[in-house]
């Protein structure tokens, strides 16, 4: 089911400010691709162009193409809401609906698709919570509020909510940056399991994390102060971390800048 994402010559603006420029890359299905690079080089902006979340910011726009399999997600007849269902997103801070129950948090996206029989809904909620490695911790308190969970559990709840609508792709914007080391490891293990079914793109500031969880790594950098971010190189993670082709990549991963 998971398909390749093909990005061609993508440039993203906030009003007249060009945040990233000329990005061309192929994201393979059922792999984890890490986006790394110094602050402000446009990793999060680029990530949000992959499911049409970028244009939610007033004045923001995109040039270039993004294809998921055969589908041009920016085609005039493409529906952004359905694009976001197919290409789900997990944010930096866990953002469950705080007063909504654990069950209803997972069911929220499904209910937007229309009425689903209760038994079917229960099955999908259970399967999604299992998929997010959270089921055993919450199965006896499904009707407690989402906010009653720890930060790490809330993030896994958000992942369960994202996978409940059966997306093809999961975009993750620094999903562990608000979590403690144990919860971070739980999410990293989960990413390793989820890639069997989903294509995953993750923005991370943590080099060890990129090296641990990803198959491919894309290094972004600024062309200069006040200039837009660019893709400098993308390759197998092992290659990027042991023998990158570009000096700026090596300088960044060895901590010489950024």
Ligand X SMILES: Nc1ncnc2c1ncn2[C@@H]1O[C@H](COP(=O)(O)OP(=O)(O)OP(=O)(O)O)[C@@H](O)[C@H]1O
Residues that bind ligand X (CB under 6 A): 14, 17, 19, 37, 39-45, 57
CB of 33 to ligand X, least distance (A): 15
Q: Cα–Cα distances in Å, from 21 out to 75, 217, 220?
A: 20, 18, 10
Three-state SS sequence of 173-218: ECCCCCCCHHHHHHHHHHHHHHCCCCEEEEECCCHHHHHHHCCEEE
CB of 92 to ligand X, least distance (A): 8
Comparing CB distances to ligand X, the nearer of 157 and 207 is: 207
CB of 45 to ligand X, least distance (A): 3
Comparing CB distances to ligand X, the nearer of 186 and 218 is: 218
Comparing CB distances to ligand X, the nearer of 153 and 221 is: 221
**Token digits for 254?**
């060895």
CB of 4 to ligand X, least distance (A): 23
Comparing CB distances to ligand X, the nearer of 165 and 222 is: 222
* Long-range Cβ pairs for the range 107-113 (8 Å, 24+): 107/164, 108/161, 109/85, 109/161, 109/162, 109/164, 109/165, 110/164, 110/165, 113/85, 113/165
């Amino acid at each position: 089911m998971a398909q390749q994402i093909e990005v061609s010559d993508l440039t993203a603006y906030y009003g007249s400010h060009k945040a990233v420029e000329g990005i061309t890359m192929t994201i393979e299905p059922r792999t984890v691709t890490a986006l790394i690079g110094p602050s402000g080089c446009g990793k999060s902006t680029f990530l949000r162009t992959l499911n049409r979340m970028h244009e939610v910011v007033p004045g923001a726009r995109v040039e270039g193409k993004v294809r998921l399999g055969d589908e041009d997600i920016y085609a005039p007849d493409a529906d952004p809401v359905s694009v976001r269902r197919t290409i789900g997103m997990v944010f930096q801070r866990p953002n469950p609906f705080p007063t909504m129950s654990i069950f209803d948090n997972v069911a929220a996206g499904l209910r937007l698709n229309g009425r689903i029989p209760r038994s079917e809904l229960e099955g999908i909620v259970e399967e999604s919570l299992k998929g997010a490695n959270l089921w055993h911790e919450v199965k006896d308190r499904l009707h407690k509020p989402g906010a009653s969970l720890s930060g790490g559990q809330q993030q896994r709840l958000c992942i369960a909510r994202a996978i409940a609508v059966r997306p093809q792709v999961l975009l993750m914007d620094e999903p562990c940056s608000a979590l403690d080391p144990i919860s971070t490891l739980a999410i990293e293990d989960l990413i390793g399991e989820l890639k069997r079914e989903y294509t995953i793109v993750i923005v991370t500031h943590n080099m060890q994390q990129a090296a641990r969880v990803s198959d491919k790594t894309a290094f972004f950098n600024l062309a200069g102060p006040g200039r837009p971010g660019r893709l400098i190189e993308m390759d197998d993670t092992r290659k990027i971390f042991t023998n990158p082709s570009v000096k700026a990549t090596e300088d960044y991963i060895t901590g010489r800048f950024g």
